[in-house]
Structure formats: C-alpha cells, structure tokens
Amino acid sequence: MSNPIQRLLDALRKNGHEPRKSGAGWCCTCPAHDDSNPSLSIHAGDDGRALVNCHVGCTVDAVCGAVGLRLADLFADDMSRQNGHSPKTGRRCDGDETPRNSGSRGSFVAVAGVTRGNDDDRRTFKTAREAVECLERRSGRRSAMWTYHDADGESVGVVLRWDKPGGGKSILPVSRTPRGWIVGGMPEPRPLYRLPDLLAGGPGVRVCVFEGEKAADAARTLEMVATTSPHGSKSAGKADWSALAGRQVVIFPDHDKPGEKYADDVARLATAAGAKSVRIVRLVELWADLPEGGDMADLVARAGGDLDALGTLAAEVESMAEAAVPPRTKPAPAGDGYRPFPVGVLPEPARSFVTEAATAIGCDAAYLALPLVSALASAVGNTRVMTIKRGWDEPAIVWTAIVGESGTAKSPAMEAALRPIRERQHAAMERHADEVAEFEAAAATYNRDAGHWNREKGDRPPPAKPEAPKPDRCWTDDATTEALAVLLQQNPRGLLMVRDELAGWFNFDRYAGGKGGDAAKWLEMYGGRPMMVDRKGGGTLHVPRASVSITGGIQPATLRRALGREHRDNGLAARLLLAFPPFRPALWTEAEVDPRTDAAVSMAFDRLFLLLLGGDGKPVSLGMDEAAKAEWVRFHDEHAAEQGRLSGDDAAAWAKLKGYAARLALVLHLARWAGGDAAADPGRLDVASVRAGVELTLWFGHEARRVYGMLAESDEDGAARRLTEWIERQGRIASVRDVTRGPSEYRGKPEAAAAALADLVTRGVAAWDHDGPGPKGGRPPERVRLVRREVDDSGDGDETG
C-alpha cells in the first residue's frame, strides 16, 4: 500500500495537477479552487501523515474531495487501521467529524483544530454562532460576548465570558480560521477591539485603550473612541497596534499591578507603531475609593445611569486626558534610546521564526529580522515592483546591515535567517552537478558524432552541439561588479549578496583600481537600473535590471571608518538600513526553533521563488487599493514635512526612507501572501501592508539617527558611552575598583577609572552613590549609580536614579 504522501501526489497527478518538489515538501495548484499560482503545500508529518495546506483557504476536506480521496487517506496505514477500523471520530455538538489526535501547530495540518481540552475544542464550525451555541450547551448561558472584526468589518473572533456563582470568571475565545470557526485564540497579529470604528474616526480622533472589552464598552457610553487588545493583559504584544499610527493615544490602566504592566506594554507598543503621542490616565485620581482592579466600567456603574452624572464623568475624563503628560518610558540598556525591533509588523511565519530564533540564539530580534527581510526581498527580486504613481516604481531591493561587536551572535543569527536561501542554493548546485555530468556525456557523444560527420562529408546535417549548463544562483558573496554582471545576466530575477563582514564590500577601490567605479555601479543597482560593465578582457556586459539585495554584519568601529565622508556624500550610507542593538549576554537556553516554523518559512520562500517575471521579461507592477493609497499619501506628506526639519546625514537618510517605506510594504505584502494570508491579494497592496511598511520605516528612521549620532561622537564621547554601557551590564552601579577590573582601557589604572567616573557624573549620565561603601567624612565617594535618562514624546528629558 502506498504511503499517504505518495497516495496524495498520485491523486493530484491523476487529476491534472503536477506537484513539484519544494524544499522539504511539494507544492502545486490547488484542485479545490481555480488556481493559477501553486497555492497548495504538502509536507510529511513526523508520524507519516500528509500535511496539507491551501494558502488561499480551501479546507483539507475540499482538497481531498477534489481528487477523490477520503480524509483517512492522509494518514499512515497503522494510524488509519486501528484494529481494522478507520481513524476514530467523534460527533461533537451536531458538527463535523474529524479524526482525533490530528492536530499540528502552524499552517501545515492535516485537520485543523485545537488539540487540547474538551472535544468541542478540536472541531470546526461553519459559523461563530454555531461555536457559541455549542459552548453554551456545555457551560450554560454566557454572561457576556464581544466580537472582534478585521479592518474590512468581517468578524474574525469572539470572546465569551461566564461569571461564576462564587465569584471569578471564565473566558473562552472563538476564532475564524481558513477551515471554519474553532474554539481557540485568534491567529497573530490579532486585531484591536472595534477596529472598524477606530479606523473610521480618522487620525485626528483620540483613541482610548482599556484593559478588557467590558471597560472599553463602558467608555463608549461616554462617547469615547475606545479599544483594547484581545485575550488578556499578558497578550498585548500579540495584537496588531498599527492602527494607532499617527494618532493620539490615551491609556486607562486597571487599578492594580497587572494594569500598570499592561499600560507600560501598550505605551511601548503604541510608540513602536508610530503613535503621535501616548499618555496614561489613572482613574483612581477621579475616585479615591476605586476598588483593587477597578476600571472604567466601575466608574460608569457608579454613575448609576444618571445622564447628568455620566456627562460630568465624561467631562472629567476628557479634562484628565488633556492634562496628562506623556509617560516616562524606560530606555534600553545604556540609555541609548534603542527601540526594540517591531517584530509584530512581520507576517507569519516570519514573525514566529524571528521570535523563536532570537530566544534560541540569545540575540536581539533585529539580528534575525534584517537579514530575513533582505532575503525575502531577494526572493521577490525583479518579478514585482510597487507602482506608487506613473513614473514612480519601487523595486524589491533592500540593503541591511546588523552592527555589533565581536561575540554578539551576529553570525549565528544571519545563518539562521538565511538558511532557506542557503538550502535552496545547495539544492541548485546538486542539480547542477548532475547536469554537468549529463553535459559531459553529451559532449563526448557530440565529439564522436562530429568526427564521424566530418569524415563522411555527406548531406546529413552536423550534430547539435550541447550547451554547457549554468547553475541557478540565488545568492553570492562576490562584490565585484564584473562578476555580478555575469551572474545577473544568467539570473535575471536578481540575487542576494551576503557578507558576514560587510567591511570587504565597502572596499570598492580594491575592485575598481582606486577610481571608485564600483561604488557608482552599486548606486545604480540600488535603484534596479540597467548596468553596463566593460570587461577588462574585452566586450561589454549589459544587465537590463540589476537587482541585488544586500545583508551582512559589521563592527561599529569598522562601520565608522567605512561610512566616511565619501560614502555619506555619495548617498551610499543612506541606502543602508541599520540596526545596532545594545549588547546582551547570550545566556544558555534549551529553546529551539520549532521544526514546523522552519518548514513554514522554507515553504514561504519556495512560494516567492515561484513568482515569475512578466511576459516581456519586465517586473509585474503592483498598485495599491484605495485605503492603502490614502495611508501612503498621509505617510508621504508627514515624512516630507519631517525631512524638511532635518539636515546633513539625517536628511539624506530620510530621503531614502521614503522609498524604503514602499519597498518594505511590497516585500511584507508578498511575504504575507507566501505565508498563506488569504487577505493578501498578490496583485495589489492593501492598507495593512502599507501600514506595516510605514511602521518598519519609522523604526529604521529612529535607528538611523541613533546610529549616526554614535558614529559622529568624539573619542571622549565614545569612551563615555562604552563605559556607561559596561556599567549598565553590571547592574547600573560601579566603583573605581570595579572599573579597574573591567574595561581594558582602565585595567589597573585607578586614576583613569576615577576620572572616567567623574566625567560620567559631569555629563549627567551618573551620580555619586553616597549610600554605598567607600570613603566617608567629607571625602567624595568612589562609586556611581547611573541616572536613568527618560524621554517623553515631546523630546523633553527627565532623570531618575
């Protein structure tokens, strides 16, 4: 009997669908819908089952039915014939029959459903109402229900609450999946509560964030635009906060420690999403007796439905919101203003991969996200461009550089992020080796036949000479433009250039005989423009569209030397998207990237590489829908106004970031499509992708200004910053003795260490710790404590110890 994979592949071929090998699995057109792109992914599960996923959303049942298979045919024989029976099924709440023990995390599941808890939690429902009714038959009449919608107003999730007789509550979510509704949490990133109302309010309307739907609904009785994130206060980071970009945000925490933690999380996430301002209002200032855990619902209930009381409460809340000052946000270590990379802006499965890999490696998420984005861009390559308006196209070309000292896990992070590209190239080279062997055999046959033909001199035509095969290439580490031109001619969709140490790439004079010619060629390649290379040995190479994305790592001192005046003046520096996160020790962890996450990322790359050039060999143009265009125009005008206030290197970076917003939106949109997001139309960008590109651009803009400031610092400023970072890692307190045993420049030099600490105090970075051990009796202390430098949205600083 054939195994499940072979059974499915044979059935697909029999029905006119030809699967092709794709990474560790297969892909082909889906038989359950009219499919012009290969949207069906097939993988082998650990237990031998066939894992099937239609990225458009067709159910597994529909796929099986379209090729004449049963659901049981996707399981190995020892699973599907237990004591001579088919897989065990259970009929639950008048619904679908699905095999038990069939769950698998991620997109690649033979049968969708949650595999834990009650049997109701393992089945799918046609509608949310059916799922709710099923749960109510099990748990009784609900106390409350809240529905979540996407930006188009379609319901995507329901949260149900049951109040317990003795106090307490029980919460269960119901969520929409491509196969139907399930009992379980919404997929990430999750929409905010009442998202359509929030978006309809326009950017000038203040948005109020509460902890929980009940409090948000209470605020709506006061005519506030109110929202919350789904699935509890600990899940704020799993929500999509991009709708807050450009808006004034006021956070109303519950009156307890978890509420304060939630407010801090939301403030950070809203800021990362590009909120215009973020403020926090504590309701206990309106009601001194607000109970522990109290919220806006308690204040509204206290008004008792009296219209005058509610009006007074609304006016008081409005007054507090107007008077509130922006929260003081805690800086990253060393007070350098580093903002965590907004991982939530990445689509699945890239988001899960970056999160899991950063934990497993013990590095900053940016070290994985930047090379991954460049790799995704290279997979799109010349096949697509984003058309903003006639005459303005932006290609999928992204240059990134991760900055860090030696030992900060740059290389392991890059290797993890680029694994799908490396594996694809490895497979291509293996195929090429086989093709070379076939060519050599064909060449020998040709030489023999050509000899016979020459000797015979008859009327028979000469034998056809075989053409030497050329390997498919998706990446290179050769930075010479002549070598690149040859590769780009052979691979017109484009390449990824990978340099573990980008310092070698910056050394353009080495390639161009000191004339700087290669630097000019690279500036052309950034725009995806035609490239002409006159070869030293004669002849000219012409590449119609030179598409090369770049990623690599570099140490800060090397970057400072590489980005000298020349590369700042010619604009090369402004074309690099940088990330220089603070140092963090890579402590041991048993964490690993889930193999299913790895498989999902590989399949997404495979799908991107299936994109083809247009019929004329040119890129296919992708426009924006109406909402996306409106979002783009808003960003464009705000960005232009901000650029007008800048000068020098910052202004140069801002000029390139405008185009990068479109490039990143294009790459993220196609990554959404490749990852199975059914809402991502491969022919047109939507508002979600434009917002994602804008949010990522805002982050890169902040990081560029921060890194440029560090690169421009004097030797004295650099020494003070490095010492501050070192003290931060020691717990924010250090003595002269500690310093003499720490950084090499102060080792065994107590006078230099004492002078350096005194300099930090003079700069306002640290304060003498008078309570610590050390000289007394009027003599100055020998220990300092770093001062937290906390900056609000207005740019005014504040300091605390």
pLDDT at 106: 33
Q: Taking all residues of the chain, what is their mean pLDDT, rounded to a whole number? A: 82
pLDDT at 195: 93
Which CATH fold topology does 343-424+472-623 show?
Rossmann fold (3.40.50)
SS percent in the chain: helix, strand, coil, step 5: 45, 15, 40
Assign 57 a pLDDT band (cuts: 50, 70, 90). Answer: low
List pLDDT tens digits, range 598-616.
999 999 999 999 999 988 8
pLDDT above 60: residue 75: yes
Cα torsion 180, 185, 189, 193 to 10°: value is 100
Burial 324-350, CB ≥16 within 10 A → b, else e: bebbbbebebbbbbbbebbbbbbbbbb
List pLDDT tens digits, range 320-376.
888 876 664 433 333 346 888 999 899 999 999 999 999 899 899 999 999 999 999
Highest-confidence segment of 92-106, 403-417, 512-526: 403-417
* Domain definitions of the chain by residue range: 4-112, 129-183, 195-330, 343-424+472-623, 715-800
pLDDT above 80: residue 36: no
List pLDDT tens digits, range 680-738.
999 999 999 999 999 999 999 999 988 887 777 677 877 888 888 888 778 788 999 99
List pLDDT tens digits, range 482-497.
888 999 999 999 999 9
pLDDT at 503: 80
Question: Taking Cα atoms as reference points, which of 756, 780, 752 lies closest to residue 768?
Answer: 780
Question: Taking Cα atoms as reference points, which of 237, 247, 151, 233 lies closest to residue 196?
Answer: 151
- Lowest mean pLDDT segment, chosen from 92-101, 119-128, 501-510, 710-719: 92-101
* 599 DSSP β-pair partners: none
How many whole angstroms separate alpha carbon 643 and alpha carbon 268?
A: 24
Q: Using an 8 Å Cβ cutoff, are 484 and 473 in contact?
A: no
More confident residue, 520 or 660: 660
pLDDT above 80: residue 311: yes
Considering the segment(s) 195-330 as one domain, its CATH architecture is 3-Layer(aba) Sandwich (3.40)
